[in-house]
Structure 1
């Protein structure tokens, strides 16, 4: 049995991941919520959802939440004008809460802003990158660089393409691309939230590590 803590469970990506995880009886999921009222924002599924109130800004709260988890899935989507180090700070806080990372794994939902393009640039630097999500795009590039310097057994970072579609239907399929110095071709791909969630669940069951580009 895999014991899993899902951070960001009330978001659209988190909802999709929770639905897919509910189909795997070998995974025992705890959905982190900010307060009791957030339970109404979780999807309606057949299996009962175990929840826990977690303050991601509080180390003691994170320590309590992660103490029984083998895998932490971080689907938190920080919004607005976040700093370029905000996602690194969040990852460090989660790790501090976990403490000993031996045998533990943090799987993070990545961002397309971190993708490598021509001439050593990142996709967030491209003129076509949406200005309203630019702070998050920069923060994801910083997070990816930070993760790639950590021990590889402790993390996985799954990146959807720019066309990451909440309303497209579930096909049941996805493809996985190997990271490279030029990931420009991946920019033309797309995937639905539900199909991306299937990949996240596969990363859980197979304990993927490292960077993975996920699209149809």
Structure 2
């Protein structure tokens, strides 16, 4: 049995991941909630879901939520004018909370703002990047750069959807995956539904992916 803690379990991506992981009999889900009342926002499921109220700013709270986890899926989507280091700081708190756990894998839902352009810049610096999500774009770039220089002993995966990340897109049940590159410009033209991206996250859990991957929908 693999225990998976989902942080951001009531968000659009988190819900999609949760529902698809329930299809695996050898997966036990722990839904991380900001407050107990958020249980009402979880999807209706055939089997009961374990829940844990977790303060992501508190290391002890994270430690308690993750005490039985083998994998942590970080699907938290911070909004507003967040500090550039917000996502790095969160990852550091998670790692400190589970520092005594060997082989625990963290899988983070990445951001398109961190994609690498042919001119050496990142997508968040491009004029076509949405202004309202600039803080998150910067924060995801910092997070990706931080993850990529972690020691080899660290177990992590960072999955990046394309800019056209479609909340209400259909579930095809398939996706395309690319490894990180110095020029990821072509990926900007791709798209994927939340459901198909969640399928990739589930595969990352089962297959224990490690590293940075770009994930898009299959070409029609």
Is the contact between residue 101 and residue 154 of structure 1 (CA under 8 Å) also seen in structure 2? no
Partner of 2:174: 173
Q: CA deviation at 1:102?
A: 2.1
Partner of 1:133: 133
Q: How far, CA to CA, are the matches of 1:209 and 1:47 in structure 2?
A: 30
Q: TM-score, normalized by length of structure 1?
A: 0.98
Superposed CA deviations along residues 154-193 of structure 1, whole A, max 9, x for unmatched, are: 1100000000000111111101012100000000000000
Q: CA deviation at 1:151?
A: 2.7
Q: How far, CA to CA, are the matches of 1:141 and 1:47 in structure 2?
A: 38
Partner of 2:190: 189
* SS of match in other structure, 2:69: coil
Correspondence 1:79-98 to 2 at 5 A: 79-98=79-98
* SS of match in other structure, 1:13: helix
Superposed CA deviations along residues 51-110 of structure 1, whole A, max 9, x for unmatched, are: 111111111111111111111100001110001110000000111111225211110000
Partner of 2:5: 5
Q: How far, CA to CA, are the matches of 2:118 and 2:180 in structure 1?
A: 14
Q: How far, CA to CA, are the matches of 1:214 and 1:112 in structure 2?
A: 10
Q: Is 2:77 the partner of 1:43?
A: no
Partner of 1:117: 117
**Structure 1 gap ranges (5+):** none
Partner of 2:143: 143
Q: Which runs of 4+ in 1 moved over 6 A?
A: none
Partner of 1:163: 164
Partner of 1:215: 216
Is the contact between residue 172 and residue 198 of structure 1 (CA under 8 Å) also seen in structure 2? yes
Q: How far, CA to CA, are the matches of 1:64 and 1:157 in structure 2?
A: 24
**Structure 2 gap ranges (5+):** none
Is the contact between residue 159 and residue 214 of structure 1 (CA under 8 Å) also seen in structure 2? yes
Partner of 2:17: 17
Is the contact between residue 4 and residue 29 of structure 1 (CA under 8 Å) also seen in structure 2? yes
Is the contact between residue 95 and residue 101 of structure 1 (CA under 8 Å) also seen in structure 2? no
Is the contact between residue 6 and residue 32 of structure 1 (CA under 8 Å) also seen in structure 2? yes
Q: Structure 1 pair 148/101, CA: closer, same or farther in 2 (3 Å)? A: farther
Correspondence 1:60-71 to 2 at 5 A: 60-71=60-71
Superposed CA deviations along residues 7-39 of structure 1, whole A, max 9, x for unmatched, are: 000101100000111101111110011111101
Q: Is 2:155 the partner of 1:154?
A: yes
